Amino acid sequence: MPDALSITASSVDPGLLGLPWQTPLGDWPSHTIVYLPKGISRHLVRFASLSGRVVAIKETTGPMARREYDMLGNLARLDAPRVERVAVIDGRRSPDGEPLPAALVTAHLKFSLPYRALFTQVLRPDTATRLVDALAALLVRLHNVGFFWGDVSLSNTLFRRDAGAFAAYLVDAETGELHEGGLTRGQREHDLEIARTNIAGEIMDLEAGGRLEGGVDALAIADGIVGSYRSLWAALTDTETFGVDETWRITERVQRLNTLGFDIGEMSIQSTADGTRVSIEPKVVDAGHHQRRLLRLTGLDVEENQARRLLNDLDEFRARVSRLGDDEEMVAHEWLTRVFEPVVKAIPFDLRAKLEPAEVFHQVLEHRWYMSQARGRSAPLAEVLTSYVEDVLRHRRDEATLMGPPTDTVSLPVITADLDIIGEDEEDEIDWRDLV
């Protein structure tokens, strides 16, 4: 290995030294590569096995790799949804002494998928809407911590299932900027327009390849992120004014934000000089309200909608066993050992890579509801589990180890002012099975 090789990492994995850095990424031997689906990228990106986990490796310039590595570290400290940084590899040279691009190494987000792997031969409107809504929520969270993305798109995002919806994670921070004082409205609107334009291009690209369900309007889907973003941003930041005899609206505002999955760290409350009106404005808003409550009660770390669904079941269990007056932590432990864990442990070992445990539990609850509705009476859980495993789960694709074609660079579509698409996507021929 060349003496000039430089590894930057907060904790160096010795396995990094065993990867063939002296070889261009596109020529790495097949035994080092893990074939997973990926989104469109300007750079060559491949997946590799590193000490029992999967990492993504992107070839780029040294300065760009270090900048993105630092940015991912800053976003981690702000608890923003993003992939985890691993290392920057620089000073690479071939055996002949030829310089090779630097590489950014990030951890593969388990159970996550690029948007193109979330539909089969055509994209259905409901799937498109859920993806756009998830991306809008991600953009709000990033803007809330002062992060300007600069290249918002479905391709630069990974999605995980979240109890019937999706949770979105930033996967490419190459163009991002972090502003400690927060973003201006102009910066936020610029990011939003970038998102709208890129999404329109991505959906039109699918339409051109015959992979968009008939009658679906690509521009309407792209416009959806604007409405979703502005609605959520307003709910988090708008000032609300009401009469002094309507102070219950403070509690209502907090509950509304909690329902959206956010906590208020600080609230500004001001009254008029004559004491007739009161204005409130959330000052610090943190996402993950239900996640934090579930984690505190059970130790389960899941997505926000999954946490909400599990907490609902926990609350129903508490009422069902008449434990409303008992300590919440004690009831949560009993629910975990008597309800959640038995369901998860009942899944055959060979099927556990299909979905995350929390998503399996959510789907079992859904399956039980449908079976009970069909019968007109409550279906026994043991029977529900057997039906779910054999009729639903066994026929799903493994999402922890989802295999796809070898990754490669692609020609990015060029989006003109009127959103015409120029160029081709090399992944158009992939025929993904229906995962939704």
- Say which CATH number the domain at 81 has: 3.30.200
Distances (CA, A) of 44 to 25, 39, 151, 153, 353: 8, 11, 17, 18, 27
Q: For 357-361, what is the mean pLDDT?
A: 92
Establish if 430 belongs to a structural domain: no
Same-domain pairing of 148 and 194: yes
- Percent over 70 (pLDDT), the chain: 87
pLDDT band at 1 (very low <50, low <70, confident <90, very high): very low
Establish if 245 belongs to a structural domain: yes
Same-domain pairing of 200 and 133: yes
Establish if 413 belongs to a structural domain: no
* 224-281 confidence digits (pLDDT tens): 999 999 999 998 888 888 887 787 888 888 888 888 888 777 778 888 877 788 888 7
Q: What is the CA radius of gyration of the chain?
A: 24
Q: What is the pLDDT of residue 285?
A: 67
Instruction: Examine the pLDDT at 73 and tell me if it is beyond 70.
Output: yes
Q: What is the pLDDT of residue 404?
A: 41
Same-domain pairing of 48 and 147: no
Quote the number of domains for the chain: 4
Q: What is the pLDDT of residue 42?
A: 78
pLDDT band at 91 (very low <50, low <70, confident <90, very high): very high
Average of per-residue pLDDT values in the chain: 83
CATH number of domain containing 157? 1.10.510.10
Instruction: Examine the pLDDT at 69 and tell me if it is beyond 90.
Output: yes
pLDDT band at 426 (very low <50, low <70, confident <90, very high): very low
Contact 241, 277 (CB under 8 A): yes
Q: Which residues touch 260 (CB under 8 Å, ≥6 apart)? A: 232, 235, 236
Distance CA 279, CA 271 (A): 6
Same-domain pairing of 174 and 198: yes
Question: Which range marks the domain in which residue 52 is found?
Answer: 6-107
Q: What is the pLDDT of residue 399?
A: 66
Same-domain pairing of 57 and 143: no
Three-class secondary structure of residue 284 per DSSP: strand
Q: Which residue has the higher pLDDT, 225 or 214?
A: 225
Three-class secondary structure of residue 346 per DSSP: coil
pLDDT band at 22 (very low <50, low <70, confident <90, very high): very high
Instruction: Examine the pLDDT at 422 and tell me if it is beyond 50.
Output: no
What the block records as the tokens of 96 is 């002949």
- Percent over 90 (pLDDT), the chain: 47
Establish if 371 belongs to a structural domain: yes
Region for residue 357 given its phi and psi (left: phi exceeds 0; alpha: psi -120 to 50; beta: otherwise): alpha
DSSP-assigned letter for residue 26: G
Q: Which residue has the higher pLDDT, 125 or 324?
A: 125
What the block records as the tokens of 371 is 């079976």
* 296-331 confidence digits (pLDDT tens): 999 998 898 899 899 989 988 888 886 666 788 889
Domain boundary among 53, 87, 107: 107
Beta strand residue intervals within 247-405, DSSP E: 262-271, 277-287
Contact 117, 426 (CB under 8 A): no
Establish if 325 belongs to a structural domain: yes
- AA letter at 184: T
Q: Which residues touch 118 (CB under 8 Å, ≥6 apart)? A: 127, 131, 159, 166, 432, 435, 436
- HSE, CB side, 13 Å, CA atoms: give it for residue 298: 24
